[in-house]
Amino acid sequence: MFWMRKAACQVGEWRVERARWRADMERYKAARRAARKSGGRIPEPENPGPPPTGFSLLPWLLMGLGSFSNLLQGRTPLPWIGAVGLLTFNSLYIYVTFRAFTKKTRDARSTRVALAVMGAVTCALAIVYGGSWLYFFPLLGLATGAVMRGPWLGRTGLSLTALAAAVSAVREGWDALNVAYGTFLSTMVTAAILSLTEAVRELRAAREELARRAVEEERLRFSRDLHDLLGHTLSVIVVKSEAARRLAPRDMDAALLQITDIESVGRQALTEIREAVTGYRQGSLATELDRADSVLTAADVTPVIHRSGPPLSPAAEALLGWVVREAVTNVVRHSIATRCEITVEGTTGEGTGERVRLCVADNGTGPKQAPTGSTRPGVGGTGLRGLTERLAAAGGSLEAGPTPGGGFLLTAELPPQSQEPQEPPSSQLNAHIRPTLTP
């Protein structure tokens, strides 16, 4: 009963493949209709075609009709041996070819053993009967080409061709050339066509997977940029609104100045969001340092800003500008600090070459000042994690954590001429991410 269960499983796999092919065809037809309605603006998709199965190789069994006809007409001596041999060959051919379209079953030992037995049966029938029975060699070549794909195909195909030529030469003389040529051609062409079909399907699946991952990475990038934009801007608006509320009862001019700043920040936020949506947003370290000075002053935090070192590339300016923005936002939101020092300077280290270092230190005692022992890799809020990934992809690094004397220190290092990185895979980022803390 074991073979019945395996047959039922095989039938179930065929049904699943056929259902998948029908779904692919429905998508193909829908995309083709959309392409035709668009008037050529959308290119027509590729026809996926039916999935390859063993049924595509079954019609070649008709090459054995000559031997079957000889059995029916009584032209074959010892017909019961021929009948058993014909039944055995056909059964093995069907078994091998249907297992050749799944890599797991194709590489199984049982498939290779069945192919070897099939070769022995073919040789025995060809030597005993000759004539039309020699055409089982091309059928053996079809099964061999379907199973033996890869580096051993050439050796196997040549060995099988030589065997077919030797056996045919013993029985038919010069007619062995036709049998040998047919065996070699059927082996190589079958292997080439099936390998190409499998490669096309794998490439189509890989292309779909890459498209899906590209969409996911773009969504992640956009959500991270939106967080960086709105998180900082809304914090500035809240801080300046609180300052205007405190100043309004005693100094209306100062309150109006804060309200004017709120309006300016709001307009600038709209501009940045539009640039982020269109993908042309650029950052400036000098602009972010000026904003940091204004925001910290409005939040009653004394800013101390120092900048020195080599000129930076636009990409490095943009990356460090994001670091300043995120760090100042965290100081205003969480630190309860009275002083914040921002330092940008050039450094030179052994083996690392020239680098630019940005340090943001405060003397706050707020909720973000977690115990030093809690620092561990991968910890950090959304903003710090995003900055860590960006700096790592550009060849830099980011460290953040509480200082022994109280306060919080964020340090970012970056090559001064770094370029804007592509979105890096997570496997490449893990090697660069340093410990961060949730701000």
Contact 17, 51 (CB under 8 A): yes
Residue 415: the pLDDT is: 86
Residue 404: the pLDDT is: 83
Cα separation values, 367 from 231, 238, 396, 407, 439, Å = 18, 19, 28, 11, 8
Q: How many CB atoms lie within 10 A of CB 33?
A: 11
415 vs 13: which has the higher pLDDT: 415
384 vs 166: which has the higher pLDDT: 166
Encode 394-431: b = buried (16+ Cβ within 10 Å), e = exposed.
Answer: bbbbbbbbbeeeebbbbbbbbbbebeebebeeeeebee
Residue 51: the pLDDT is: 60
Of the given ranges (70-84, 88-102, 171-185, 236-250), which has the lowest mean pLDDT?
70-84
The H or E element that residue 345 is part of is strand 339-349
Residue 7: the pLDDT is: 56
For the chain, give the mean pLDDT. Answer: 77
Binned at pLDDT 50, 70 and 90, residue 430 comes out as: very low
pLDDT tens, residue by residue, 341-351: 999 998 765 55
Running DSSP on this structure, what letter comes out for residue 109? Answer: H
283 vs 132: which has the higher pLDDT: 132
Cα separation values, 224 from 104, 219, 228, 254, 411, Å = 42, 8, 6, 35, 20
Mean pLDDT of 99-119: 87
Binned at pLDDT 50, 70 and 90, residue 278 comes out as: low
Mean pLDDT of 273-294: 73
Binned at pLDDT 50, 70 and 90, residue 370 comes out as: very low
Contact 399, 434 (CB under 8 A): yes
Closest CA to 302 of 367, 363, 254, 365: 363
- Which residues are within 8 A (CB) of 414 and not within 5 positions of it... i.e. 6 or more apart? 316, 319, 320, 355, 356, 358, 391, 394, 395, 396
Binned at pLDDT 50, 70 and 90, residue 254 comes out as: confident
Of the given ranges (9-23, 83-97, 177-191, 233-247), which has the lowest mean pLDDT?
9-23
Q: How many CB atoms lie within 10 A of CB 349?
A: 10
434 vs 120: which has the higher pLDDT: 120
> Which pTM value belongs to this model?
0.46
Mean pLDDT of 239-259: 86
**Over 90: is that where the pLDDT of 3 sits?**
no
**Winning range, highest mean pLDDT, from 6-10, 130-134, 345-349:** 130-134
Contact 381, 334 (CB under 8 A): no
Q: How many CB atoms lie within 10 A of CB 146?
A: 27
**Torsion sign, CA atoms 270, 274, 275, 279:** positive
E strands, 33-142, are none
**Over 90: is that where the pLDDT of 340 sits?**
yes
Contact 261, 243 (CB under 8 A): no
pLDDT tens, residue by residue, 311-326: 888 888 888 888 998 8
Residue 423: the pLDDT is: 43
Task: Using a pLDDT cut of 70, give the percent of the chain over it.
Answer: 77
pLDDT tens, residue by residue, 48-95: 555 667 777 888 888 777 787 777 777 778 788 888 888 898 889 888
Mean pLDDT of 295-319: 86
**Over 70: is that where the pLDDT of 355 sits?**
yes
Closest CA to 424 of 375, 390, 400, 383: 390
Q: Provide the terminal-to-terminal Cα distance of the chain, rounded to the nearest Å.
A: 65
7 vs 38: which has the higher pLDDT: 38
Residue 419: the pLDDT is: 62
Residue 341: the pLDDT is: 93
